[in-house]
Structure 1
Amino acid sequence: MKVILLGTAAGGGCPQWNCACAQCTSDSPPRTQDSVAFSTDGRTWHLLNASPDVRAQILTTPALRAGPGPRETPLRTVLLTDAELDHTLGLLMLREATDLTVHAPAAALHALTDHFPARTIIGEYHSWNWLPATETTIDGLQITSLPISDKQPKYARASTHPGPWVVAYRIHDPTTGGTLVYAPCLRTWPPGFDAFTDDASLVLLDGTFYRSTEFTTATDHANPAAQHAMGHVPITTTLPLIANRPGSTRWAYTHLNNTNPVVDPAGPEHAAVLAAGAELPPDGTEFTL
């Protein structure tokens, strides 16, 4: 299985257009909003989340470019972890795709119909398949999902639809034995997550914030509870858990917020993550599992 990190930043990217925090005004390498592409053969590709930056991400990734036919593309599937705008707005950029299947938690599919009508808008262009995130097989890859959070997007906070609203994905290639776990949105280290990540080749883990007070101190935000409400467990909480896990799993942080000091390769926080045995790969990083 081939894996390409198209984007590794949280919503807004880094630098973020409306932010003048230390990271956004530094010379740190830019990161686009989080999304991943994977494939078994390098010809047919599938996405994990569809960020608002998906057009630029596709055009800078040769394997995802259109062809060989004049209107043919290699994209076949999108797996959504949730209904957040930074993970779904890219669907509108893909609206010209004639044959696409979207998997998402049932609550997210509901939100994309009744609160942010992406499904209705896209349906005026082409009829896609919209399926709940359940155990399935795509191109021979065995895909399972784990409910991890009931955090609703701001635009759907009034929804009474039952959760889960957020899932993580485990993608196993029975031919190579490689396994990818994608979990960019962890409110906590949830029950069942240890087993879900056991023997994985690579885990792409929520790295939104480095510490629990980061958003408040970096932006002078008046509400200390704002960061907690965003639903992302900080790296300082998960890093010790990774260090104590046995096995040969590679752990890499993604979905890095623009306020996160680990985006600076020269900073002590970046060094601390690497010293603990985890990775902070940039946009465009490729893995073969």
Structure 2
Amino acid sequence: MVVRVVLLGTAAGGGFPRWNCACELCTGARGGRLPSRTRECAAVTGNGRDWWLLNASPDLRAQLAATPALWPGPGPRGSPLCGVLLTDAEADHVGGLAELCGAPDLKVYAASPVRAVLGQARAALDRYAPWEWADSLADGGFVLAGGLVVTAHPMDTTVPGYVPGRVPSPAGPWVTAYRVEDLAGGGALLYAPGVGSWSPALDELCAEADCILLDGTFFAADETDAARPGTGKPAVRGPAPPPGGRPPVGAHPPLTGRLPVAGHLPVVGPDGTLAALARHLGVRRVYTHLNHTNTLLDPASPARAFVTAEGVEILPDGAELVI
């Protein structure tokens, strides 16, 4: 067996183009110059029959319809979907749970704070068809139907904006990453669409993976300022390789030096993820969760050329990985 992963969506909150943004990138997507993307979500299987969602995007209905492997059957109400693994409680990662309303016997894994904040939504969904809600951080991990073994790893304590007071309660990590491995000894996937800081533990997880799906939300730390219409600033275009060579990894610093948005390290800069990924050259590395301001969305941009030259991939919605 092998681990198969389908990238159902690869954009950050709001998708691409974002409905209320007229920046150069979003305008290009509306005009057909750049490919559109749905909100970040993936599906994984170990046997090609039993599939598990990694997050549940509000775009889930369209994403499932575009993926034949996830179509219903063989019976009138049959489905290959077994459940969902949530990395956090952000609206763009849990909104798609409503699309699964009424599906029997689904199992949802999430950290304790995520399950707690979804309490009312859980009760409403369970009235249609009872689901099993499990702790993703249980000691020893858990085994999924289809021959996959999973362990969850704390990443961040960033609380979703809709939580009253933004108080981190109950205690515990709000954001996790998942290591998904073929139980029979095949490949291992590290799925981490939200990374607020880089730790030695994350380095170890990367070193032990065969493929990393990593948070690529922002190219530079202050790109949301640079790409906002009406600021008088151009959209961030990223570093252009100098004649005859490439710049060092992470050479492009934040434009103003301010910190990135909470919960997401930028790709470039002194503490960017690209420099960290350079320590794992033997691993397939893919950025996902791309914000609508991120110039990596433009295949012709210097930023895309820069990241691609470092061996890190930017894949479209619908791409399939075999690990």
TM-score bin (small chain): over 0.9
Specify the SS of the correspondent of 1:154. coil
Match in the other structure for 1:23: 25
Instruction: Say whether 1:95 aligns with 2:98.
Output: no
After the TM superposition, which parts of structure 1 deviate over 3 Å for at least 4 consecutive aligned residues? 224-230
Distance 1:218 1:96, change over 3 A: same
Distance 1:10 1:171, change over 3 A: same
Match in the other structure for 1:181: 190
Counterpart contact for 1:215–1:221, Cα < 8 Å? no
Aligned residue type for 1:132: D
For residues 181-200 of structure 1, what are the structure 2 equivalents within 5 Å?
181-200=190-209
Scaled by the length of structure 2, what TM-score is found? 0.84
Deviation per residue, 1:207-255 (Å, 9 max, x gap): 0000001011111599x99973442100111111112335x21010000
Match in the other structure for 1:170: 179
C-alpha distance in structure 1 between counterparts of 2:295 and 2:188, whole Å = 29
Match in the other structure for 1:129: 132
Match in the other structure for 2:280: 245
Judge which range, 229-238 or 202-211, deviates more: 229-238
Counterpart contact for 1:78–1:103, Cα < 8 Å? yes
Match in the other structure for 1:80: 86
Instruction: Say whether 1:233 aligns with 2:265.
Output: yes
Counterpart contact for 2:296–2:303, Cα < 8 Å? yes
C-alpha distance in structure 2 between counterparts of 1:88 and 1:133, whole Å = 15
Where does structure 2 lack aligned partners over 5 or more consecutive residues? 232-255
Counterpart contact for 2:206–2:280, Cα < 8 Å? no
Determine which structure has more spread, i.e. the larger CA radius of gyration: 2
Match in the other structure for 1:215: 224
Counterpart contact for 1:146–1:196, Cα < 8 Å? no
C-alpha distance in structure 1 between counterparts of 2:306 and 2:44, whole Å = 29
Judge which range, 155-164 or 202-211, deviates more: 155-164
Scaled by the length of structure 1, what TM-score is found? 0.94
Counterpart contact for 2:4–2:48, Cα < 8 Å? yes
Specify the SS of the correspondent of 1:209. coil
Deviation per residue, 1:186-224 (Å, 9 max, x gap): 0111341011122311100000000001011111599x9
Instruction: Say whether 1:38 aligns with 2:44.
Output: yes
Deviation per residue, 1:252-283 (Å, 9 max, x gap): 00000000000000111011110011000110
Q: 127, 140, 145: which is aligned to 2:152?
A: 145
Deviation per residue, 1:68-89 (Å, 9 max, x gap): 1111111001000000000000
C-alpha distance in structure 2 between counterparts of 1:220 and 1:18, whole Å = 11
Deviation per residue, 1:75-112 (Å, 9 max, x gap): 00100000000000000111121110000011100110
Where does structure 1 lack aligned partners over 5 or more consecutive residues? none
C-alpha distance in structure 2 between counterparts of 1:191 and 1:3, whole Å = 26
C-alpha distance in structure 2 between counterparts of 1:262 and 1:186, whole Å = 18
C-alpha distance in structure 1 between counterparts of 2:66 and 2:257, whole Å = 38
Distance 1:226 1:123, change over 3 A: farther
C-alpha distance in structure 2 between counterparts of 1:119 and 1:227, whole Å = 35
Judge which range, 193-202 or 209-218, deviates more: 193-202
C-alpha distance in structure 1 between counterparts of 2:259 and 2:60, whole Å = 26
Q: What displacement does 1:62 show? A: 0.2
Counterpart contact for 2:222–2:258, Cα < 8 Å? no
Specify the SS of the correspondent of 1:182. strand
Specify the SS of the correspondent of 2:208. coil
Of all paired residues, the percent bearing the same amino acid is 45
C-alpha distance in structure 2 between counterparts of 1:267 and 1:75, whole Å = 37
Counterpart contact for 2:23–2:229, Cα < 8 Å? no
Q: What displacement does 1:174 show? A: 3.2
Judge which range, 137-146 or 100-109, deviates more: 137-146
Judge which range, 33-42 or 169-178, deviates more: 169-178
